[in-house]
Amino acid sequence: MSEPILVLDDVTRIHGSGENAVAALKGVSLTLHSGEFVAVMGPSGSGKSTLLNLAGGLDRATSGAVTVEGAALQTLSRAALAQVRRRHVGYVFQDLNLIPSLTAAENAALPLELDGRSPRAARAEAMASLEALDMHRLADRFPDDMSGGQQQRVAIARALVGGRRLLLADEPTGALDSETGDAVLRLLRQRCDEGTAVLLVTHEARHSGWADRVVFLRDGRVSDTAVYTLDPVAKP
């Protein structure tokens, strides 16, 4: 099997110290390869968002190791960590997080421009990413002129722009009705089938149906992992 895209090895995250120390995550291990879709479920406060933040380098583990595309995040300087985030990690959040004063294409190109790519090259990559999500025709629209589902498609295009292979999604359908939410999950599944590794945090059990593996967290620990190997779905 190919090198994993994301590895969490015995990761613990403790907030505060002494008597006020609170362990948000305790000894969690998790590996994602290309084309794998893992859903993380659990009650409020179980550590789901902490796990996602650690996986994306937005937070640092108190102990244990997080590796993204071969880079051990705990060994990196602040600048190097930011570069790994820009180049390798895509995020999709519940509250879309598109910049309202930028068009769909400008939003999707932004991570590449921040990484020093020329505007022309960044736009070309952004258009390719939008096209993969069937959003290239709305490339010059502003977020306010799009539906919630269309905005979330742009957010996914931005998350995966420039060949990033790790997508971290935190309740990405929370702001959408169930049918539009289904369409977004269908897109995530498609991106996954084309090689992206998807880590989805969700409290909606039906979304776990799109995943290859479901990890249940309780009090910062993995309480249960459901792994099922199913035959791939026949392409129509």
Partner 1 sequence: MSSLGLTRTTYSVYISGMSIRHGILALLSEGPAHGYQLKADFEQRTGGTWPLNIGQVYTTLQRLERDGLVHRPHGVEHQPSDRVVYAISETGRAVCREWFSTPVRRTQAPRDELAIKLALAVGAPGVDIAALVQGQRSEAVRTLQELTRLKIAASDTQDLAWLLVLDALVFQSEAEVRWLDHCESRLVRAAAARDHAVRDHADRPKTQTTSDETQVGAR
Task: Report the residue number, 106 or 171, with the smaller CB distance to partner 1.
Answer: 171
Task: Report the residue number, 100 or 236, with the smaller CB distance to partner 1.
Answer: 236
Q: At what angle do helices 119-132 and 148-159 cross, to 10 degrees?
A: 120
Q: Position 134: which residue type?
A: D
Task: Note whether 216 and 202 are within 8 A (CB).
Answer: no
Task: Report the residue number, 95 or 193, with the smaller CB distance to partner 1.
Answer: 193
**Nearby residues of 180 by Cβ (< 8 Å), 6 or more positions away:** 147, 148, 149, 152, 173
Instruction: Look up tokens 């990405």; give the residue.
Output: 172
Q: Which H/E stretch holds residue 89?
A: strand 89-93
Task: Report the residue number, 91 or 210, with the smaller CB distance to partner 1.
Answer: 210
Shortest separation between residue 223's beta carbon and partner 1, angstroms: 7
Shortest separation between residue 222's beta carbon and partner 1, angstroms: 11
Q: At what angle do helices 104-114 and 119-132 cross, to 10 degrees?
A: 130
Shortest separation between residue 217's beta carbon and partner 1, angstroms: 12
Task: Note whether 220 and 62 are within 8 A (CB).
Answer: no
Compute the residue count for the chain. Answer: 236
Shortest separation between residue 147's beta carbon and partner 1, angstroms: 18
Shortest separation between residue 36's beta carbon and partner 1, angstroms: 14
Task: Report the residue number, 32 or 214, with the smaller CB distance to partner 1.
Answer: 214
Please give the residue ranges that form the binding site for partner 1 (CB under 8 A). Answer: 43, 186, 189, 204-206, 208-211, 214, 216, 218, 223-224, 226, 228, 230, 233-234, 236
